Structure 1
Amino acid sequence: MSAAPPGPLTGRPTPPSKLWSTVWLLVSAAVVVWAVWTVDANWARLLGLPGEVGNYARLMGGGVLNNPTADPWAEYWVLAISRMLESVQMAWIGTLIGAVLSLPLGFLAARTIAPAPVVFAVRQVLNAVRALPEIILAIVLIMPIFGLGPLTGALALGIGSIGTLGKLTAEAVESIDRGPVEASLASGARGLQRIRWAVLPQALPEIVAFWLYRFEINIRASAVLGVIGAGGIGSLLSQLFNRREWEQIGITLVVIIVVTILIDTLSGAVRARIIQGG
C-alpha cells in the first residue's frame, strides 16, 4: 500500500535570522567611526579643498596652456617625456624579470602539478615577496648594492612582480581543463611533456594577460620609486616639488596621465585579444 502524499503547506517558512548580519554591520560601522575619530585629521580643512584645488590647478595650468614649441616650455615637455619613457622602460624590464622568474614558481605552486610540500614552501615564498612593497625592496635590498638609478627601480619592480605573478600563474594552472592532461597521460607522456603540451597551451594566454596587467601596475609603481632616487618620472617630480616649480609640475603630470591612459588602452586591447581570440 503506497504512502499518502504530504499535505499542502499551512503557512510561510520562517525567515532566516538577520541577527548576525546586523551585528556585523554595526561592528563595521563602529570600526569606521573609530578610525575616523582616531586618525587625528583636520577635517575642517575639507571645506577649503575646492579652493585649494582650483589654486593649484591655476598654478600648474600656466605651463600646460603655454605654447609647447616656445622656450622654455619646449624643454620642459621634452624633459618630462624622456623621463616618462625611462619609467616605461623600467616597468617593462621589471615585468620581464617578474614574468621569467614567476613562471616556474607558479607551476611549482600549483596543487595540480607539484607535490604538497613543494606547493606549501613555494607559496610561502611568494607570500613573503608579495608582502613587501617595491619601495621597501628598493631601499633595503637593492639600493645598497646598485645605488641610485633606473636599474634599482627596474630590479625592485621585477622582484616585486614575482609574488603576484607567481600566485596568479598557479591559479591559472589549477583552473585548466583536465581533459587534455588525462589524454596526454593515457598516451604515455611524462611530467614535463604533459606540462609542455597539455598544461602550458591552456594556461599561457591567461598568464600573458596577467603579465600585461602587471606591466600597467609597474608603470604607476615606477613613479613612486622615482621619489627615492630610482630614476624615471618620479625623480623629476620629486625635484620639481622641492623647488615648487608648479608650471613644470603641471606639464609632467599631463605627460604621466596621457602616457598611462595610452598604455592602459593598448594593453587592455591586447589582453582582450589574447583571452577572447580574434
Structure 2
Amino acid sequence: MSAVADRPAKAARPPQPSKARTTVGMLLVAVVVIFAVSQIDARWERLPELVTVLPRYVGLMLEGIIQNPFTEPASRYWSSAIDYTLESLQMAWIGTLIGAVISFPISFLAARNTAPLAVVLVVRQILNAIRAVPELILAIALMMPIFGFGPLAGALALGVGAVGTLGKLSSEAIEGIDPGPVEAATAVGASKLQVLRWGVLPQALPEMVAFWLYRFEINIRASAILGVLGAGGVGAILKQLFDKREWERIGVTLLVIIVVTIIIDQISAAVRHRIISGAGGRSRRQERRTETEGLMA
C-alpha cells in the first residue's frame, strides 16, 4: 500500500488552448477577401472563355516561334526582340547600380548599431517614403517630365525606387552582424571609421551584395513594365505589337524575355550563393555530410 501511495500522481492534462482568436481572425480575413472581390468591377462570367480563347492566341504566337529564324521576316523579329531585351537589361543594370551606390552609405545611417537613434528614425522614414512610391509613378511624375521618353528616365526611376528597398535590407544586414569584431576593434582604440571598415563592412557586405543582385532581377521585370509607358526597353515594343495585334512577333519577343530572365536568374542565384556561402561552402557541406554518414554507419 505504501509503495502504491508513494507513486507520483499522474499529471493532469493541461487545458486545450482556445481557438476562438484564430477562428475570429480567419473569419475576418475571409470577410475582407469577399468584400474586396465584390468591389472589383470585373466580368467574372467571362472567366470560362479563358479555356477557349487562350489556346487560340498561344497558337498564333507559336506560329512566329516555329519559323526559321534565319529567314525573313523571322530574323527581323528575333533581332528586334533581342535588341529591346538587351536595352531592358541595361536599364535594369544601371538602375541597380544607382540604387546600390546611393543606398550603401544611407544603410549605415539607418542601422541602430552604427548611427544615433535620432538619425536612424529620420533616415528610415525617408526610406519608407521612397518605398511607398512605385517605379511607375516615379517615371511618370518625376523622370519623364525632366528627361523625356526613353531608357534614361526608366533607369533613373528604377534606381530611385531601388534606394528604398536596398537601404532597408542593407541596414537590417548591418544590424544583424556579430558584435564581437566591433567590440574588439573598439577595445584596441580604432576610430569610428575604422570600426565600420574592419568590424562592420566585412560581415555585412556579402549579404548586401546579394541584395543588390536580387534587386537586379526585380529591375529586369520592372523595366519591361516601364517600357509600356514609353521609358524604353522591351515593354515599348510589346505595347506597339499588342496595339497592332502582331501575334507572331509577340510570341518571339515573349520567348526571348522568358529565356533571358531564366538565364539571368540562374546566374544571379549562383553568384548570390557563392557570395554568401563562400568558396568552401560546398566542400564544407560535403565534409559534414561525410561525417554524418560515417556516424550513422
Q: CA deviation at 1:7?
A: 5.4
> Cα deviations across residues 156-190 of structure 1 (Å, max 9, x unaligned)?
00000000000001000000000000000001001
Correspondence 1:121-200 to 2 at 5 A: 121-200=122-201
Cα distance in 2 for partners of 1:33, 1:229 equals 36
Q: CA deviation at 1:98?
A: 0.3
Cα distance in 2 for partners of 1:173, 1:79 equals 43
What is residue 32 of structure 1 aligned with on the other side? Answer: 33
> Cα deviations across residues 20-62 of structure 1 (Å, max 9, x unaligned)?
1111111111212222222132222121111111011011111
1:178 to 1:44, Cα distance in 2 relative to 1, 3 A: same
What is residue 106 of structure 2 aligned with on the other side? Answer: 105
Deviates more, 1:5-14 or 1:74-83: 5-14
2:275 paired with 1:274: yes
Cα distance in 1 for partners of 2:24, 2:7 equals 38
Q: CA deviation at 1:8?
A: 2.8
1:65 maps to a residue whose letter is I
What is residue 202 of structure 2 aligned with on the other side? Answer: 201
Q: CA deviation at 1:196?
A: 0.4
2:237 paired with 1:236: yes
Cα distance in 2 for partners of 1:53, 1:115 equals 57
Cα distance in 2 for partners of 1:276, 1:49 equals 45
Cα distance in 1 for partners of 2:75, 2:166 equals 39
2:42 paired with 1:23: no
Cα distance in 2 for partners of 1:92, 1:40 equals 37
> Cα deviations across residues 164-220 of structure 1 (Å, max 9, x unaligned)?
000001000000000000000001001111000110000000000000000000000
Cα distance in 2 for partners of 1:173, 1:47 equals 50
Give TM-score, length-normalised by structure 2.
0.90
1:8 maps to a residue whose letter is A
What is residue 45 of structure 2 aligned with on the other side? Answer: 44
Cα distance in 2 for partners of 1:53, 1:190 equals 64
What is residue 66 of structure 2 aligned with on the other side? Answer: 65
2:101 maps to a residue whose letter is V
Cα distance in 1 for partners of 2:191, 2:17 equals 53
2:260 paired with 1:259: yes
1:16 to 1:78, Cα distance in 2 relative to 1, 3 A: same
What is residue 119 of structure 1 aligned with on the other side? Answer: 120
Deviates more, 1:24-33 or 1:178-187: 24-33
Q: CA deviation at 1:67?
A: 0.6
Cα distance in 2 for partners of 1:112, 1:277 equals 25
What is residue 291 of structure 2 aligned with on the other side? Answer: none
2:163 maps to a residue whose letter is I
Q: 3-state DSSP class of the match of 1:86?
A: helix
Cα distance in 2 for partners of 1:28, 1:68 equals 51
Cα distance in 2 for partners of 1:41, 1:154 equals 33
Q: Which structure 1 residue ranges, 5 or more long, are not aligned?
A: none
2:192 maps to a residue whose letter is G
Q: 3-state DSSP class of the match of 1:70?
A: coil
1:10 to 1:167, Cα distance in 2 relative to 1, 3 A: closer
> Cα deviations across residues 100-144 of structure 1 (Å, max 9, x unaligned)?
000011000000010011000000000000111111001111111
Give TM-score, length-normalised by structure 1.
0.96
What is residue 290 of structure 2 aligned with on the other side? Answer: none
2:111 maps to a residue whose letter is A
1:114 maps to a residue whose letter is A
* Pairwise CA RMSD: 1.3
What is residue 221 of structure 2 aligned with on the other side? Answer: 220
> Cα deviations across residues 218-256 of structure 1 (Å, max 9, x unaligned)?
000000000011011010101111111111011100000
Q: 3-state DSSP class of the match of 2:195?
A: helix
